[in-house]
């Protein structure tokens, strides 16, 4: 039986005193792909940030556990080391820090002794870069500094492949990607989804043409108001969100 990775119960979250999430519940098991769709401002990215522990977000009610452990007991880096990974919608630039060094440090921090030798890391890195169509010159560039939108997203997925997370949270990973890049990135996500649970936050249905979700959830005003299978995403693509709003009104 698949392990339950993430359990969110009746979660309420505020930022600067403004309530954004208003009683959200969700369970994700290992190997499952969940997609959350919703309009801008519905709280999707807030969920991603609060799961990873961004200090600006305050949990005012409810609980979140990762593999049975309350997340509030874990610092951000401990969540990463425990197996959580967030692919950022807008990844931060770290000027002066080379991608190659950053990846090595990150892999050592997250995987510890399982990170292997420098030679093993290089082999794994080369394979992952090849699978994503990333050029070797990437490694000497500074992290996300002057990167195009597509390059940033590829670097996020490259990190995901190297860190071997158990729970992957993808925040609008498809935004800013052309169709070829989207396919490549989706292949990376599908690779990770073989062993991890995935929470795909997206605005559009097009990513779900390539990453098949087991569950699709619709978020409106800080709550998951409707859940279904992959067909729900297609329905949203055809009809928008108004019919769901009418349904829950």
Partner 1 sequence: MEKALEHYRSLPQPKRSEHLWRYSAWRRLHPTGKVEEVPKAVSAKVVLTNLDGSAVDSAIELRPARGEERRRLSATLAEDNVAASFCRALCGDESLLLSIPNSYVGEQPLSLDITASGHISSLYLLFDIGTNAEVELAISIRGEAGWFGLLREGNIGENSKLTEFVHNRLDHTSTLLRCEGIELQRDARLLTATLSSGADKSKSDLRYSLTGMGADLGVFIAVHGQGKRHDDHHIEIEHKVGNNRSQVEMHAACDDNSRSVGTGRLLIAESAQGADAGQVFRNLLLSDKAKADVIPELEVLADDVSANHGAASAPLDPEQVFYLESRGLDKNESRDIIVEGFLMDAFKDFKSPALIDRLRTLLLVHLDCDLI
Residues that bind partner 1 (CB under 8 A): 52-55, 75-77, 79-81, 85-86, 88, 91-92, 94-97, 102, 105-106, 109-110, 142-143, 159, 163
Task: Choose between 43 and 91: whose C-beta lies nearer to partner 1.
Answer: 91
Half-sphere exposure (CA, 13 Å, Cβ side) for 237? 13
DSSP code of residue 74:
S
Task: Choose between 77 and 243: whose C-beta lies nearer to partner 1.
Answer: 77
As a whole number of angstroms, the distance between CA 188 and CA 184 comes to 7
Residue 230 CB, shortest distance to partner 1, in Å, is 29
Residue 97 CB, shortest distance to partner 1, in Å, is 4
As a whole number of angstroms, the distance between CA 168 and CA 85 comes to 5
Residue 92 CB, shortest distance to partner 1, in Å, is 4
Task: Choose between 88 and 215: whose C-beta lies nearer to partner 1.
Answer: 88
Residue 232 CB, shortest distance to partner 1, in Å, is 29
Note whether 201 and 39 are within 8 A (CB): no
As a whole number of angstroms, the distance between CA 139 and CA 192 comes to 22
Residue 32 CB, shortest distance to partner 1, in Å, is 22
Which among 158, 178, 163, 161 is positioned nearest to 91, based on CA atoms?
158
Task: Choose between 158 and 185: whose C-beta lies nearer to partner 1.
Answer: 158
Report the SS3 class of residue 52.
helix
Task: Choose between 143 and 233: whose C-beta lies nearer to partner 1.
Answer: 143
């Amino acid at each position: 039986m698949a392990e339950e990775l993430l359990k969110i119960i009746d979660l309420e979250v505020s930022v600067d005193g403004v309530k954004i999430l208003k009683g959200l519940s969700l369970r994700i098991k290992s190997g499952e792909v969940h997609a959350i769709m919703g309009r801008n401002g519905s709280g999707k990215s807030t969920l991603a940030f609060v799961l990873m522990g961004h200090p600006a977000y305050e949990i005012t009610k409810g609980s979140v556990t990762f593999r049975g452990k309350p997340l509030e007991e874990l610092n951000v880096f401990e969540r990463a080391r425990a197996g959580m990974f967030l692919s950022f919608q807008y990844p931060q630039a770290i000027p002066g820090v080379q991608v190659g060094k950053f990846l090595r440090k990150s892999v050592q921090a997250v995987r510890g002794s399982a990170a292997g030798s420098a030679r093993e890391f290089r082999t794994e890195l080369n394979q992952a870069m090849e699978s994503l169509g990333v050029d070797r010159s990437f490694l000497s560039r500074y992290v996300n500094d002057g990167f195009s939108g597509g390059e940033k997203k590829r670097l996020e997925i490259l990190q995901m492949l190297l860190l071997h997370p158990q729970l992957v949270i993808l925040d609008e990973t498809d935004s800013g990607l052309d169709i070829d890049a989207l396919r490549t990135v989706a292949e990376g996500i599908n690779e990770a989804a073989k062993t991890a649970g995935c929470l795909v936050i997206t605005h559009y249905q097009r990513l779900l043409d390539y990453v098949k979700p087991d569950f699709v959830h619709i978020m409106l005003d800080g709550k998951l108001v409707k859940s279904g299978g992959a067909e729900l995403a297609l329905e949203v693509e055809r009809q928008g969100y108004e019919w769901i709003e009418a349904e829950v009104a």
